[in-house]
Structures are given as structure tokens and as C-alpha cells.
Copies of this chain bind each other. A is one copy, B any other.
Amino acid sequence: MSILDEKKRVAIVGQSGGPTVAINASLAGVIGEARKAGFSKVYGMVNGISGFLEGRTVDLFDRFPGEKSLDDLAHTPSMYLGSCRHKLPEVSDTAFYKDLVDKLNKLGVTDFFYIGGNDSMDTVAKLSAYGEQSTCPIRFIGIPKTIDNDLLGTDHTPGFGSAARVVSECMRNISFDARSYNLQSVTIVEIMGRDAGWLAAASALAGERPGLSVFEIGNAPDLIYLCEIPFDIDSYIEDVKDVLKKKKTVLVAVSEGIHDKDGVFIDEAGSEHKTDAFGHTVHSGVGKVLEGITADRLGIKVRSVELSVLQRCLAPLSSPVDLYEARNCGRVAINMAMTGETGIMIGMDRTSNSPYQISYAPQPIEDIPNKVKTVPLEWIDTKHHGVTEEMMDYLRPLVG
């Protein structure tokens, strides 16, 4: 491809789905590499595809004139461009897609990049499918991002390593806090993950640096429950009692998405019919629900902590490896577009664990959406309240 051809290339990029601390790093990767590759313009969609359809775009070369400004962007959490949750219609709705492509053509867009998780890859897959059937020459490329680590086609997702680091750091420091008093207590930490337990599993890393204390410490957390295994309240209470035979303070990590053998979420079961004294409905997370159950059954001090949005936004605890890889995913997306790829998501392959090495490879976009990569059952210990050494080996390099 000649320099002249490349000068005519115009990219557009959007961010979609839930925020992470790494998604702006991918955006910075796209902008910086597009400039190097000779793109004449990079548009940003404000609030993703939804904002684009309303005509809301910005000029990103203009806003980020040099590497310094891109470094600042890469270290800003959440989405610079804003997000959306917008499901595109089926590809059979050709009128919709023709209109959308007309809007892209009006801006002279040759390359479309979309950074996000499962739903965002659904957007890229539909656009790619329409592009193929209509022989539209625009390249459509997905860049992965989700703290949940539940995307197929990649060893792990940008955003996960940082969230995993927040979870393990918080868990580590909560464990110091929990053992201050000389009394029996249970501390339950609720961790994000409705469909996959990757983040809750990352809490196990907290036990690797036990820190200084006059007390016997042991692992932190003592018990980890992932949503891949049906949760049984009676077994859980027995597990807690077993730990209490050996030590006074029990630390429990739990995926928000744990559910019973019939698939009923524990938090939903516990939140029914609940209103406060003002008559307002209150939704309690699974941590609060388990707190009530544990306190009533065991009659000891119980506290629950919901890490909440801090897991996905606490930039000072981000993983350097995660930010580095997220930025690379943006760069690789541009480079793959330059070689003519379309209808792909950038995936990461782990080629070695020690030393940790990954390579970037295109993944067919149609294989990605509407599926969930859950934790392999063989990485959960046989007692169903912890993780195996294989899981630890997988996690360690990602938190940096």
C-alpha cells in the first residue's frame, strides 16, 4: 500500500460497556499507532455507537497532539469518550445498516474500531457481517476490554489484570483489618462477576504476602466461592465453622453471581419483598444477604464489604502489565487493519508462563459474542471453596 493510499485512511473508534482502568490505554494505542501509520484522521464516537448514530464525534488527533497527552490518557481510568449499552438490530435490518454505513462514509471512514466486552463484540460482529454481505470496504475490528475476563478468543482481557489487582490488594488489607480484634468474626467480601468467577478467584493472590502480625495469619481469604459452582448455604456454614475451629477470624470471598443448584441467585433470593422504613425498595448484594444469614446462624460478629465500582476504576492500583497490554491491543488493531484484516477481535495468546509472554493474534469476530468464558472447573479445588495452583499460575503475571 502506498503512502498516498494510507493518507486517505480515516479511523473511527468507540468505547462501550462497563468502565475499566485500561480502556483508555487501548484508545491511546489506537490514536498513537494510527498517527504513525499515516492515518489522516481518527474520529472518536462520543458514547459509543449510540452517540455516533446521533452524530456525536470528536477529532482525536486534534485532542491528543502528541505522545505526552496520550500517556496521560492511558493513565486515566474509565472511558474518555463515554460509553453506551446499545444493541444493534439483526443484520437482516439492511435499512438500518445502510444508514449507519452512509454515516461512516460521510466522514470518509475506512477503519472502524470498537473497544469493549461481549455486547460490544456483538456490535462489531453485526457490522462485519453486514460489511461482508454488502461488500462495503470498511474494516471492522474489535478490541477486547472487560474486568470480568469472560471473553472467548483471548487468554485474558485488558482491564482484568487491574481489577484483579484491586481485588487482591483490597482483600490483603481487609485481612489485616479483620484480625485486629480478639473475637470470633466473619468478614465477607463481595466481588464483581455475575457469570464468571475470575475476579473472585483473584482474591486468592492476597494470601501470597501475609505481612506482619503478632497473630498466626494463614491464608487470606480462607474461603472463596465462585459462581461456576452451585452455592449451598448449609455447606457454606459448615465451611465457616471448620475454619473457626482453627482461627478466630474468617475471611470469605464471594462472586456476586453465586446461585443455588436451581440457578436462583443468592442475592435475588435474599432481596425479595424488602423495603425500608420509608417504604422504599432496597436491593442488597449477596454480601449483605450472606452477612445476615451468617450472623443469625453462628451468632458471631459478621461484616460484609462490597468492593463495588472500585474494582473497575481504582486507577492507583492498576496493573502495569494490564495497561501495557491494553495499549498494545490498540496498536495491534491498527497494524492488523493496515494488513487488511477485518471481522476480527484482537486476541492475546499466552505463549509462555515463565517468563510470562503473550502474542497478539486476530480472532474471527463471529466466534466471540453471546458466549461466556467461565473458570475451568478443574481450577477450582475439590472442596469447592478455593482455587488450584494452576489458577494461581494463570493469575500471577496479570496483576503486575
Contacts and interface: CB of A to CB of B under 8 A. Distances in A.
A182 B50 contact: yes
A240 interface: no
Interface stretch (A80-88, A127-135, A354-362): A80-88
A100 interface: no
Interface stretch (A2-10, A105-113, A311-319, A341-349): A311-319
B305 A278 contact: no
Given A270-B276, A280-B292, A292-B282, A177 B212 contact: no
B182 A51 contact: yes
A309 B314 contact: no
A79 to B, nearest CB: 5
Contacts of A305: 306, 308-310
Contacts of A272: 276-277
A288 interface: yes
A289 B273 contact: no
Q: Which of A170, A180, A215, A276 has the most CB of B within 10 A?
A: A180
Contacts of A310: 170, 173-174, 305, 310
A76 B214 CA distance: 12
A211 to B, nearest CB: 5
A41 interface: no
A77 interface: yes
Interface string A165-176: 000011001101
A208 interface: no
Given A280-B293, A316-B316, A84 B173 contact: no
A278 B274 contact: no
Contacts of A182: 47, 50-51, 82, 84
A153 interface: no
Contact of A315 (B72, B173, B282, B293): B173
A21 to B, nearest CB: 8
B169 A316 contact: yes
A253 B329 CA distance: 36
A58 B277 contact: no
Contact of A214 (B58, B213, B293, B306): B58
Contacts of A295: 280
Nearest to A292: B280
A289 B283 CA distance: 10
A388 to B, nearest CB: 27
A274 B271 contact: no
Given A176-B77, A282-B288, A309-B303, A181 B82 contact: yes
Given A83-B181, A305-B310, A314-B170, A19 B277 contact: no
B292 A82 contact: no
Interface in A240-296: 269-278, 280-282, 284, 288-289, 291-293, 295-296
A12 interface: no
Nearest to A63: B214
A57 B215 CA distance: 12
A156 interface: no
Contacts of A269: 277-278
A47 B215 CA distance: 10
7 contacts: A19-B176, A47-B181, A76-B211, A78-B173, A85-B181, A281-B292, A282-B289
CB-CB nearest 7 A-B residue pairs: A280-B292, A78-B176, A272-B277, A177-B313, A173-B313, A47-B182, A83-B180
